[in-house]
Amino acid sequence: MTAIRLDGAAVARGIYSQLKARVAALGRRNVRPGLAALRVGDDPASTIYLRNKVRACNEVGIRSEVHALAADCPPERLLAMLDKFNRDPGVHGILVQLPLPKHWDPALAAGAVAPEKDVDGFTWRSLGALLAGHPLFEPCTPAGVVSLLEHAGVAIDGREAVVVGRSAIVGKPMALLLMARGATVTVCHSRTPDLEGHTRRADILVVAAGRPKLVSAGMVKPGAAVVDVGIHRLPDGKLAGDVDFAAVQEVAGWITPVPGGVGPMTVAMLIANTVQAAERQADSR
């Protein structure tokens, strides 16, 4: 069996063409959606991710501005900029590109973005709302995974899902989104004994561990949908994920490539959330 490839880039293009119509409708109400993005430090991966996000904004007609702060700046600089964006009516969505400096209190930025502008769904308020079953904005990467599965017609309701990884931005919200759609979800992490015993049960396997080739063909149930969130730059310069793609595609029913799977969907969800934020803010004027 060779798995069906879940082409995130193609699905994202379809989402953009629908979003363009919504941006045009906002334009008729004299609203141009605006996204303000901030990064701290010069992590090369963050720079690339932001460039892709700006390109996607341009594609659908969203105004974007990117601000970079020095790695050694005091956290108050970030808070002051977030406060300015929170009050700026031309900024509908705010993105704080992670990672932030490790020594900063993680609650700091997560508490400083206005919930109605938290298009990345990363603030603790947004995560709490998701946990309570009333999401404000779904976190972009897990929302992108669900959207990709739904576009491919992969059934979620009543299926067995396993998520490898329990981070606050991917693993935990991923589990919540799958549970909300009727899956029975197991979350595995670095302290899970017998990882394979869990992954082999999964109809839907989402891997977000940040470990290249963690998942081999023997760990996958034949016919499963395998979604690889991981991104790694290999020594030869190529990108790869957490799943041994070449081997697993012979066992799985569906599989995401890296690059071109979850990455483009993450960006598409950010853009969709920004358009939604602009619509909500225009409606409440």
Among the listed ranges 60-68, 88-96, 260-268, 272-280, the one in contact with ligand NDP (CB under 6 A) is 260-268
Structure tokens at 73: 């700046």
CA atoms within 13 A of residue 165's CA, in its CB half-sphere: 22
Does 8 sit near ligand NDP (CB under 6 A)? Answer: no
Q: Which strand (E) or helix (H) includes residue 186?
A: strand 184-188
Q: Is 249 a catalytic residue?
A: no
- Contact at 8 Å (CB) between 175 and 164? no
Write the single-letter amino acid at 93: G
Amino acid at 13: R
Residue closer to ligand NDP, measured from CB, 224 or 262: 262
- Classify 54 as helix, strand or coil: helix
Least distance between ligand NDP and beta carbon 40 (Å): 16
Q: Which residue is nearest to ligand NDP (CB)?
A: 167
Q: How far is CA 69 from CA 42, 73, 77, 200, in A?
A: 9, 7, 8, 44
Position 15 contacts ligand NDP (CB under 6 A): no
Closest distance between ligand NDP and the C-beta of residue 187, in Å?
A: 8
Shortest Cβ 27–ligand NDP spacing (Å)? 29
Least CB distance from residue 121 to ligand NDP, whole Å? Answer: 12
Q: Given candidates 53, 92, 166, 198, which one binds ligand NDP under the rule CB under 6 A?
A: 166
| Nearer of residues 39 and 166 to ligand NDP, judged by Cβ | 166
Tell me if 214 contacts ligand NDP by CB under 6 A.
yes
Do 58 and 33 contact (CB within 8 A), yes or no? no
**Which residue in 82, 169, 183, 271 binds ligand NDP (CB under 6 A)?**
169
Report which residue type is found at 145. Answer: V
Q: Is 100 helix (H, G, I), strand (E, B) or coil?
A: coil
Active site residue 18: no
Provide the phi-psi class of 99: left if phi over 0, else alpha when psi is between -120 and 50, else beta.
Answer: beta
At residue 260, the 3 state secondary structure works out as coil
* Tokens encoding 179: 């549970």
Candidates 32, 181, 200, 211; binder of ligand NDP (CB under 6 A) is 211
Contacts of 103 (CB under 8 A, 6+ apart): none
Q: Which of 7, 53, 242, 249 is catalytic?
A: 53
Pattern 217-256, binding to ligand NDP, x per CB under 6 A? ------------xxx-------------------------
Q: Is 135 in the site for ligand NDP (CB under 6 A)?
A: no
Is-catalytic flag, 120?
yes
Give me the least distance between CB of 263 and ligand NDP, in Å please: 4
Q: Which residues are catalytic?
A: 53, 97, 120
